Amino acid sequence: MSKLTLDGFLFCVVACAACNSETTAPGKPVDLFIGKWACSEERSLTFTSPPGQDPQTTTEMTTLTIAPEGSALAASKQSDGGANCKVSFISNGSTGSLVEGQSCTTADGITIAYKSGSATVTGNSMNSAFSFDASGNITVGGMMVPVMATGTQNSTCSRLTPPPSGGGMTTGGW
């Protein structure tokens, strides 16, 4: 198993590694996450403080690039909002799981503390789902107000470039 660094929000899952893997050498799987992805990401917040604050849902288009970096993989996310974030994953072939204890700050200044997350690659598609706690400040009635929330983040991605046909291996995946 190897670690993946994921920039922004994103993404990831749990399943059988051998089911969807290609190979670069006899018996050695290609990491199916490697490459460039076009993603639609939806983030939903349910505010726990202040009381009565309406839930908030945002959708964002992002480009995700996943490449080997040392013994891990690094994922760089470029969004329309330009927010960047690094998140680590453990993967095994076509599935990945979020490493606990990570956080990111969104373009609108909300800090997201991830609780769980998973991703899976099937053919030329990748899907991810995260849950998190959030805190920060939002504008309410012309004033900045501190908020706390729980939330989810779901992404659906389409492959823009194929995984490497050789040399892009890691020892376990994402």
Concatenate the DSSP letters of all residues of 90-151 into one string.
Answer: EEETTEEEEPSS-EEE-TTS-EEEEEEEEEEEETTEEEEEEEEEEEEEEEETTEEEEEEEEE
Half-sphere exposure of 43 (CA within 13 A, CB side): 23
> Strand, coil or helix: what is 106?
coil
Q: What is the pLDDT of residues 124-169, one digit of tens each?
A: 999 999 999 999 998 878 889 899 999 999 999 999 998 777 544 4
On whether the pTM is more than 0.75, the answer is no
Burial 21-52 (b: 16+ CB within 10 A, else e): beebeeeebbbbbbbebebebebebebeeeee
Residue ranges in the chain modelled with pLDDT below 70: 1-30, 69-74, 80-84, 86, 166-174
The first and second tokens of residue 59, run together, are 């959708």
Q: Other C-beta atoms within 10 Å of 142: how many?
A: 5
CA distance 131 to 40: 17
Q: What is the pLDDT of residue 81?
A: 59
Longest Cα–Cα distance of the chain, Å, equals: 63
* CA gap 97, 151 in Å, rounded: 18
